[in-house]
Amino acid sequence: MKLFLTRLALAAGLAAPVLFAHADDQAKRGEYLARAADCMACHTAPGGAPFAGGLPIVSPFGTIYGTNITPSKEHGIGLYSDDEFFAALTEGKRRDGAYLYPAMPYTSYHLMPREDSDAIHAYLKSIEPIERAAPVTSLSFPFNVRLGLMGWNVLYGKALKLEPAEGKSEAWKRGQYMVEVLGHCGECHTPRGLPGAMELDKRLTGGILNGYLAPSLLATDLAARGWNEQDLATFLKHGMSAQGTMFNEMFPVFHNSTQGLSDTDLAAMATFLLGDKPPAAKALVEVPVDKLGPSALRGRQEYLNVCAGCHAAGGEGKPHIAVAMRGNTTLRLEDPRNLVRVIEDGIGEQKFSGFEHMQPMPGFAGKLSPAQLTDLINYLRQGWGGQSAELAVSDVQKLQAEAPSIEHKAH
Amino acid sequence: MANRPLQLTLNGQPVGPVDIPDDLPMIDYLHEYKNLTGSRLGCGQGICHACVVIVDNPDGTSEEVRTCITGAHYFEGKQVRTIEGHAKRDESGQVTELNPIQQRFVDEFAFQCSYCAPGFVNAATVLVEKLQRQPTVHSKLEQVIEDSLGHHVCRCTGYVRYYNATRNVLTDLGLVKEG
C-alpha cells in the first residue's frame, strides 16, 4: 500500500509538470498565433491595456468598437469555453448567441484549424484580466439588428476558399495560411461590395480603407511595383525596405504583428504572395527632366520647393529622416490615391525596429492648390514612378473630395 | 540644376528678380545671397524650428515657414519677414527699438545660448499679431502659448522663461481678456 501511494505520488509529481509544460507550450504557441492574427490591432485602444478593447473601427455602417478579450469574466471572454471561442473566431458567434459584426475577420479565420484556435484561447486565458468594459457598439438601424447578420453569414461568412495548394512548395502553403487566414490580409487588400463583403473574385487586388488604398497584392502587381521576395520579407520584418516604409493602417500591423513573426514565416508569406516562381521585379525607368510632361515639369519645381529638403533633390531620401522617392512603391501605383492622401495628410513620426525611425512629414492640405498638387503628383509619378500619363487637376480633385470625413490619424 | 529668377518682398523691401538655383534652400539664400544670417540652421530637417521666417498672407494672417526644408522659390511673390526685420532702425541701419517680444526676451533673460532665439521671436511675434486681430482669454492663455511656441526646440532654458516672457508681453499689450 505504501509502495502504491509512493508510486501514485511520484506519478502525480511527474505528471503535473508535464501537463503544465503542455499548457505553457500551448499558450506560447497561441501568443505567436495571436500575433500573426493581429488580434491586438482591433482589441487594444491606443495607450490602453493589451486586448482590453475600445479601439473605434470606423466602417461604412457606423463605428464598431473592439471588444475586451482578456479573461475578465464580466467584461472579457473569461467564461468562454474552447468551443465557444472557436465559434466566435470562425463563425462570428458570441457566447450569448448574438452575431459579431464582420469587422471581426471570421470571414478569414473560418479556415483556422481547431488546435490553433485552442492555442490562441489558451494564450488569452493566460494574460491579465482587465476588469473594464469596452465601449458598446451601437450602429443605427438596420445595422443594429445583429440577427440580420444571419443571412449575411450564410452568403459570405465562409465564402473564402483557398487556392488549391497542389504542387506548391511547403513555404507557399505556410505562407498562404499566414497571409489568407491568420494575417487576414485580404480583409483590407480586397475590394468590398455593397453589403460590405469582400468581392472574392477580386481577392487581394486592393481595397479602400479610410480613404487610403490597400494596394493589390497580386504577384504581377507587386512585381510591377518593384517587389521581390527578399524585399517583401524585409518590409514585413522591419517596416521598411528600399520601396519605402509602412504607413497608415499598415503601420500598426507592422508594430503589433509582422515584426514579431519568424523569418521563416515572413519568407513564406513573400513566397506565397509572389509565387513559387516569382515574376521578376520590374526595373524602374526614370524619366529625365527634359522628357517630363508640362505638368510634371512644373511639379518638379514644387518638389524642389517643399519636398526636396527631406526627400532630397535627386529623390534619394535621407536616412532616418525621410524615405527615398526613387523606387518608392507608392509612386509606382497606377492609382494616385495614396499619393494624394499622404501629401495632404502627412505622416506622423514613425518608430521602427531598433533605433530606426522616420521624422514626421507635414501635411500639405490647404497649402498647395489643386493645380500645384496635381503638378507635384505628376512629377513624382513620371520622374520615379514609371507612370507616363499625366493626371488632370480634376482627377486629383476627385480624389481630394473622397477623403474620409472623419478625422483620420495618419501614422 | 538650372537657375531661375526669384522675386519676393523681404523685410518690406522688394527683392529681385535675381537668378538663383532652382533647388536652393531658403536658409542658404538668406545666408549666402542676402547676408541675413539671423535665421539659424539647426537640425536641417524641419524639427527644431530655429530657421523659421514669417510669411504674411494676402488675407492679413501670418505663418511661420521652415527655411531649412523649404526651397527659396517657394517664396516667389511672397511677403517674408526675418528676424532682422522686427526692430526699428535709424537711417544708418542701427537698431533704435526692439519689437516688444525681442525686448521682453532680453529683459527676462529668456534665452541663454540664443541659437533658438530667432525662431522663438518669430513664433511669438506671429502670436502677438494673431491676438491683436483676435484677443484670447486668461483661461486659454497657457494653451495658446503652448500651441504657438511648443514646436520650437530650446536646449538651454527649458522654455519656462520664453513662455513667461511671452505671457507677460501678451498681458501688457492687453491681448488677454477676462474669461
Beta carbons of A309 and B73 less than 8 Å apart: no
pLDDT at A10 over 70: no
Contact A118, A86 (CB under 8 A): yes
Amino acid letter for position B72 = A
Domain B86-175 in the same topology as domain B1-79: no
Q: How confident is the model at residue A3 (pLDDT cuts 50, 70, 90)?
A: very low
Q: How confident is the model at residue B1 (pLDDT cuts 50, 70, 90)?
A: low
What backbone phi and psi angles, to 5 degrees, belong to A224?
-65, -25
| Number of inter-chain CB pairs under 8 A, A vs B | 36
By CB atoms closer than 10 A (0-12, 13-18, 19+), residue A343 is buried
CB nearest to A305's CB, from B47, B68, B73:
B73
Q: Mean pLDDT, to the nearest integer, of B156-166?
A: 92
Q: Mean pLDDT, to the nearest integer, of A137-141?
A: 69
Beta carbons of A310 and B70 less than 8 Å apart: no
CB nearest to B71's CB, from A304, A321, A359:
A304
b/e B136-166 (16+ beta carbons within 10 angstroms → b):
beeeebeebbeebbeebbbeebebebbbebb
A204 secondary structure, DSSP code:
T
pLDDT at B65 over 80: yes
Beta carbons of B74 and A308 less than 8 Å apart: no
Other CB atoms within 10 A of residue A313 CB: 17
Question: Which chain A residue shows the shortest CA-CA distance from B73?
Answer: A305
Question: Which chain A residue shows the shortest CA-CA distance from B76?
Answer: A305
Amino acid letter for position A294 = P
pLDDT at B67 over 80: yes
Query: What is this model's ipTM?
Result: 0.91
Chain B residues whose CB is inside 8 A of the A308 CB are 23, 71
Q: Mean pLDDT, to the nearest integer, of B136-159?
A: 94
Contact A204, A189 (CB under 8 A): yes
The Cα–Cα gap between A247 and A269 comes to: 19
Q: Mean pLDDT, to the nearest integer, of A181-195?
A: 91
CB nearest to B46's CB, from A304, A309, A313:
A309
Q: How confident is the model at residue A157 (pLDDT cuts 50, 70, 90)?
A: confident
Say whether residue A346 is in contact with chain B using an 8 A CB cutoff: no
pLDDT of A339: 96
Range from A98-102, A195-199, A249-253, A266-270 that averages highest in pLDDT: A266-270
**Most distant CA pair in chain B: distance in Å?**
56
- Residue A324 vs residues A310, A339, B68: alpha-carbon distances, Å: 9, 14, 18
pLDDT of A23: 76
Q: Mean pLDDT, to the nearest integer, of B63-76?
A: 97
The mean pLDDT value of chain A amounts to 89
Residue A90: HSE in the Cβ half-sphere, 13 Å Cα cutoff: 17
Chain B residues whose CB is inside 8 A of the A306 CB are 69-71, 74
Question: Which chain A residue shows the shortest CA-CA distance from B44?
Answer: A309
Instruction: State in words which class domain B86-175 has.
Output: mainly alpha
Say whether residue A394 is in contact with chain B using an 8 A CB cutoff: no
Does the CA dihedral A15-A17-A23-A29 come out positive or negative? negative
Beta carbons of B69 and A309 less than 8 Å apart: yes
Q: Which helix (H) or strand (E) holds A20?
A: helix A2-36
Q: Mean pLDDT, to the nearest integer, of A328-336?
A: 95
pLDDT at B123 over 90: yes
Q: How confident is the model at residue A141 (pLDDT cuts 50, 70, 90)?
A: low
Question: Which chain B residue shows the shortest CA-CA distance from A362?
Answer: B46
pLDDT of A59: 75
pLDDT of A113: 97
Q: What is the pLDDT of residues B25-40, one digit of tens each?
A: 999 999 999 999 999 9
CB nearest to A313's CB, from B4, B23, B47:
B23
Which residue is it, cell 486586448? Answer: A51
pLDDT of A18: 53
Of A130-144, A317-331, A370-384, the least confident: A130-144
* Three cell numbers written together for A10: 511520484
pLDDT of A147: 66
Contacting residues for A356 by C-beta, under 8 A, at least 6 apart: A238, A240, A320
pLDDT at A324 over 90: yes
Other CB atoms within 10 A of residue A90 CB: 20
Q: What is the pLDDT of residues A356-374, one digit of tens each?
A: 999 999 999 999 999 999 9
Beta carbons of A305 and B71 less than 8 Å apart: yes
DSSP string, B106-167: HHTT--SS-TTHHHHHHHHHHHHHHHHHS-EEHHHHHHHHHHHHTTS--SSS-SHHHHHHHH
Contacting residues for B51 by C-beta, under 8 A, at least 6 apart: B27, B39, B40, B41, B42, B66, B67, B68, B119
Q: How confident is the model at residue A334 (pLDDT cuts 50, 70, 90)?
A: very high
Of A95-104, A264-273, B125-134, the least confident: A95-104
A213: left (phi over 0), alpha (psi -120 to 50) or beta: beta
pTM (predicted TM-score)? 0.88
Contact B117, B108 (CB under 8 A): no
Beta carbons of B23 and A362 less than 8 Å apart: no
Give the domain ranges of chain B.
1-79, 86-175
Beta carbons of A310 and B25 less than 8 Å apart: no
Amino acid letter for position A106 = Y
Q: How confident is the model at residue A21 (pLDDT cuts 50, 70, 90)?
A: low
Contacting residues for B7 by C-beta, under 8 A, at least 6 apart: B14, B15, B16, B17, B18, B76, B77
pLDDT at B3 over 90: yes
Beta carbons of A304 and B46 less than 8 Å apart: no
Instruction: Answer with the residue of higher pLDDT: A58 or B168.
Output: B168
Contacting residues for A288 by C-beta, under 8 A, at least 6 apart: none
Q: Mean pLDDT, to the nearest integer, of A187-210?
A: 89
pLDDT of A159: 78
Of A141-155, A158-172, B34-48, the least confident: A141-155
The Cα–Cα gap between A342 and A327 comes to: 17
Which residue is it, cell 520647393? Answer: A305
In CATH, what number does B1-79 get? 3.10.20.30
CB nearest to B70's CB, from A301, A305, A321:
A305
Chain B residues whose CB is inside 8 A of the A366 CB are none
Q: What is the pLDDT of residues A38-48, one digit of tens each?
A: 999 999 998 88
Q: How confident is the model at residue A274 (pLDDT cuts 50, 70, 90)?
A: very high
pLDDT of A219: 97
Interface of B with A (CB under 8 A): 1, 4, 22-23, 25, 45-47, 66, 68-71, 73-74
pLDDT of A101: 81
